[in-house]
Amino acid sequence: MQPKLFSPLSLASITLPNRIVIPPMCQYAAVEGVAQNWHTVHYGTLAASGAGLLVVEATAVCPEGRISPRCLILQTDEQEAALAKLVQNMQDIAPTVPILQLGHAGRKASCDVPWGTGACLSQEAGGWQTVAPSPEPMNTQDTQPLPLTLEEIDTVKKQFAASALRAKRAGFAGIELHGAHGYLLHQFLSPLSNTRTDQYGGSLENRMRLVLEVFSAMQEAVGKEFILGVRLSASDWVEGGWDVEQTAQLCQRLEALGCAFFDISSGGLSTQQKIPLGAGYQVPFAQRIKQAVSAPVIAVGLITEPTQAEEVMYPRQSRGLEML
Ligand SMILES: Cc1cc2nc3c(=O)[nH]c(=O)nc-3n(C[C@H](O)[C@H](O)[C@H](O)COP(=O)(O)O)c2cc1C
């Protein structure tokens, strides 16, 4: 019998040749937000692997939304043209389907590259003023983010919509909205980072509002047929924080809007959090979300063996869970 891992999968209007997904991985190799030869070689090699779906790294919708000064941006014609060339290169090489992750780093922006200090950069060192739902920094030594005003929140939505349209024009088959890993959208979701008292803070409904509005703004820009998925952290790994049950509710709301897939992560390597790192440690989150939605769900986190991947998609305990 053919392993399920190598069977095709329908994702909205397209068919993936198999269920292997290469997750987004920042390269910190852009210059002024523009993709370089590094990206051409790196993504060409990944596409040649034969994976079904390839998610190109977190790409910021505006300069201040970059994690580091070396991250991709998609806001100008030059940035769009470089990504269009990248897509063409991947398509010339393999049938792997390329999609783009769009995000905004919020209070986790303005950091040095990981092989530098990785720490928050001051404006004198090439960093910039960060923004967030609330004025609390991620780490006490970081510069304080400015809370977004309602007008600025509106601008962020428009920036996501504009970048989504550019991604479609550049030839990507779809977009993954980055709502995970403590970046801006996750900062709005979590009661730990969102202490607002207006319509974007407080209740679950209010904390989910920005993600839902950004999704709708992007959908309006690219049309309902274009593939739009969402990556979410299912847990803050901190008591009283964002958790898998809130994630399940958000996924149901996004699915009702037409979300084509969910990519369920949680991230975090902080020593302050007790994360049970180990083979497949995040898979139970994806399995819980799969019970809540019917769209494909991507699982991540130390899945290193083909047999392990097969088991994730088709667990012996509960036959019938269809996962990417
Ligand atoms: C170098 C590197 C860069 C990453 N960049 C991103 C990113 O751009 N967007 C994102 O959502 N996750 C990013 N991640 C997280 C991965 O997509 C993935 O979820 C994580 O590595 C867990 O899978 P693993 O245990 O198989 O490594 C990155 C991970 C690594 C190692």
Per the confidence metrics, is the pTM higher than 0.75? Answer: yes
C-alpha distances out from residue 19 to 169, 258, 297, Å: 25, 21, 11
Ligand 1 closest atom vs CA 23: 17
Q: Which of 28, 43, 183, 200 is catalytic?
A: 183
Is ligand 1 within 6 A of the CB of residue 108? no
Compute the distance from residue 197 Cα to the ligand 1 centre, in Å: 32
pLDDT in tens, 10-58: 998 899 999 999 999 999 999 999 999 999 999 999 999 999 999 999 9
Handedness of CA 220, 162, 195, 147 (dihedral sign): negative
pLDDT in tens, 97-116: 999 999 999 999 999 999 99
Is ligand 1 within 6 A of the CB of residue 217? no
DSSP state of 242: -
- Average pLDDT score over the chain: 94
- Report CA Rg, the chain: 19
Q: To test ligand 1's pocket by mutation, which of 20, 21, 22, 26 has the most ligand atoms within 8 angstroms of CB?
A: 26
**Predicted confidence band at 277 (pLDDT cuts at 50, 70, 90)?**
confident
Nearest CA to ligand 1 atom 30: 25
Ligand 1 closest atom vs CA 57: 8
The CATH number for 4-318, chosen from 3.40.1390.30, 3.80.10.10, 3.30.750.24, 3.20.20.70, is: 3.20.20.70
Nearest CA to ligand 1 atom 28: 25
pLDDT in tens, 124-140: 999 999 999 999 999 99
pLDDT at 288 over 50: yes
Per-domain residue ranges of the chain: 4-318
Is ligand 1 within 6 A of the CB of residue 103? no
Q: Is 43 a catalytic residue?
A: no
Nearest CA to ligand 1 atom 20: 301
pLDDT at 272 over 70: no
Strand runs labelled E in the chain: 9-11, 14-16, 21-22, 53-60, 72-73, 97-103, 131-132, 146-147, 174-179, 227-233, 262-265, 297-299
pLDDT at 322 over 50: no
Residue 128 CA to residue 44 CA, distance in Å, equals 32
pLDDT in tens, 15-28: 999 999 999 999 99
How crowded is residue 212: how many other Cβ atoms within 10 Å of its Cβ?
15
Q: To test ligand 1's pocket by mutation, which of 185, 186, 265, 312 has the most ligand atoms within 8 angstroms of CB?
A: 265
